[in-house]
Amino acid sequence: MMPAARESLLDAAYAALAHRPWSGVRMVDVAAAAGVSRQTLYNEFGSKDGLARALVRREVDAYLAGVDRAVTAQGDRRERLTAAAEWTVAAARENPLVRAVLTGCWGERLPAPARTSVPSTSSVPAQRRADGPLPSPGDVVALVRDRAVHALAGPGTERVEAADLARSCELVVRLALSCVTAPPDNGGVADLVRGALHRRPPP
């Protein structure tokens, strides 16, 4: 199948999820909305769980791409980390699948694909990747931290400085997640991050 058709199927599944719980999403309706046969959908994803895993993986990848954009933008380290925190809160607010992955809280309306790796018989490389283990909230913290460190650490960064930068990056990620689960009454995540980094500036 062409990648565009796979994306269309995932778009259709995501759109269906906005209108009904995952348990009520029918494969035949997803296929029809994407303009392909139900057999084509099964050939691509194998099962409804395979579709769910691919959908969750795609949304996580899109979230991480947004983190990459934030930490590689122009500006000093503090502002780039602040942008990554703001993106995290916004992505979780707008996308229930991203919120579920970040918090580990999967509501009844959402798909609940197995968290561990499942045997993949798919001939589709993207689906074989989706069939791998989905990240836990702790995994996502580590992924975001490591991406931020990679983007912010300049050439020749000393080991001690890199370790200190990693701690600052993880602090920012965890502050953002706290705002996802318990939004602050006054201000937003940017104020919290700037305040924390003012006391503990990135090296």
Q: Report the pLDDT averaged over residues 8-26.
A: 96
Name the nearest CA neighbour of 11 among 30, 29, 36, 24: 30
In the predicted structure, residue 201 carries a pLDDT above the cut 70: no
Residues 149-172 pLDDT 10s = 999 987 777 777 888 999 999 999
Percentage of residues in the chain having pLDDT higher than 70: 94
pLDDT of residue 45: 93
What is the model's pTM? 0.90
Instruction: Give domain status of residue 44, yes or no.
Output: no
pLDDT of residue 69: 97
Tokens of 2: 């062409």
Instruction: Give domain status of residue 22, yes or no.
Output: no
In the predicted structure, residue 195 carries a pLDDT above the cut 80: yes
Confidence category of residue 99, pLDDT binned at 50, 70, 90 = very high
Name the nearest CA neighbour of 35 among 81, 2, 65: 2
In the predicted structure, residue 5 carries a pLDDT above the cut 60: yes
Residue-range definition of the domain harbouring residue 148: 62-111+135-199
Instruction: Give domain status of residue 8, yes or no.
Output: no
Residues 32-75 pLDDT 10s = 999 999 999 999 999 999 999 999 999 999 999 999 999 999 98
Instruction: Give domain status of residue 26, yes or no.
Output: no
* More confident site: 121 or 36: 36
Instruction: Give domain status of residue 4, yes or no.
Output: no
In the predicted structure, residue 187 carries a pLDDT above the cut 60: yes
> For residue 134, what is the DSSP state?
P
| Contact call for residues 82 and 193 (beta carbons, < 8 A) | yes
Instruction: Give domain status of residue 188, yes or no.
Output: yes
Q: Which residues contact 58 (CB under 8 A, 6 or more apart)?
A: 10, 130
How many domains are contained in the chain? 1
Report long-range pairs for 122-126 (Cβ below 8 Å, ≥24 apart).
122/44, 122/45, 122/46, 122/50, 124/1, 124/6, 124/44, 126/3, 126/6, 126/54
Instruction: Give domain status of residue 3, yes or no.
Output: no
